[in-house]
Structure 1
Amino acid sequence: MLREKIQSETVTAMKAKDKERLAALRLVGAKIKDRDIELRTSDKKPDDEELVTDVLTKMAKQRRESIEMYDAGDRKELADKERAELAVIEEFLPQQLSETDTKAEIAAIKAELNAAGMKDMGRVMAELKSRHGAALDMSRASALVKEALA
């Protein structure tokens, strides 16, 4: 479903002659195809939605890191290009949980698992990822879990 939506948006961008959006969508399509090729020889194949969401999440993370580096290096034009690509990628990702909602989920999981200290961080993170994997920035969530367990 998500894969088809990306393909139809690519066609729409082509017809509208929106070069920047088209380039970003083609990049997404190429990454998904690369991932498909990687998984050809794999024993276990993830669900298609999960695969596409995973690719999009990684691409978004890469764009955010690039934006930080370009801003730090005073390369505004490159940062703006990355921001435009990030906006297109984020259209297809599930809505991210807010920091408040993330903290509430962490507190609930912590209580559920009777997590007391840092030794339980792995269990809390695993449960958090299984429940809200695509809707979370796991690096930010990791910092919040550390804060909650400290």
Structure 2
Amino acid sequence: MSALKDRLREDLTTAIKARDDLRSSTIRMVLTAITNAEVAGKEQVQLSDDDIVGLLSTEAKKRREAATAFEDGGRTEMAAKERAELEVITEYLPQQLSDVEISELIAAAIVKVGAAGEGMKAMGKVMGVVTPQVKGRADGAAVAAEVRRQLAS
């Protein structure tokens, strides 16, 4: 059993007892997504903490995108709800990397794979090294944009 999944279950119980509807519904949604991921496929699996962090990152990204879409559509109350759910989900994610830390990781990866001067052809090689290092700790689109920027210069 994963420690993160246990923590989510304990926090769900606490939120229900405190009658915190937003928190309890958000944690329920996350636990349901975890269960669905575990039973998907031909045989049931137990997700590790890393797998759960990946799933939480996906759920957080969904909330960010939905909040933006609701804002663009003039539905501010729905956007606020999505942002509130995002805050709850973010509590279970590892500390996010700063732009400087992301930039340093990418620079080190470029040196490691010898991609300096190759330009955009090396994008896949660099992303292959960087992605496992930033998983759950940075937005993939932001990382890809920084890789493009560094490879172009």
Same fold (TM over 0.5): yes
Residues 46-83 of structure 1, C-alpha deviations (whole Å, 9 max, x = no match) = 85112211110110010010011111111100000001
Give the distance between the partners of 2:20 and 2:42, measured in 1 at CA.
Answer: 33
**Quick one: distance in 1 between partners of 2:7 and 2:62?**
22
Q: Does 1:74 align with 2:67?
A: no
Aligned AA (1:69):
A
Over aligned residue pairs, what C-alpha RMSD do you find?
Answer: 1.5
Is residue 84 of structure 1 aligned with residue 109 of structure 2? no
Which residue of structure 2 lines up, in the alignment, with residue 122 of structure 1? Answer: 124
Partner in structure 1 of residue 64 of structure 2: 64
Letter in 1 for 2:107: A
- Unmatched segments (≥5 aa) in structure 2: none
Superposed CA offset, 1:9-48 (max 9, x none): 0000011111111111111111111111114537xx6851
Q: Which moved more, 1:109-118 or 1:3-12?
A: 109-118
Tell me the percent identity: 34
Give yes or no for the alignment of 1:20 onto 2:22: yes
Report the counterpart of residue 112 of structure 2 in structure 1.
112
Q: Displacement of 1:104 after TM fit?
A: 1.1
Give the TM-score normalised by structure 2: 0.91
Question: Bigger shift: 125-134 or 61-70?
Answer: 125-134
**Which residues of structure 1 form unaligned runs of 5+?**
none
Equivalence for 2:96:
96
| Number of residue-to-residue matches in the alignment | 148
Runs of 4+ in 1 over 2 A off after TM superposition: 39-42
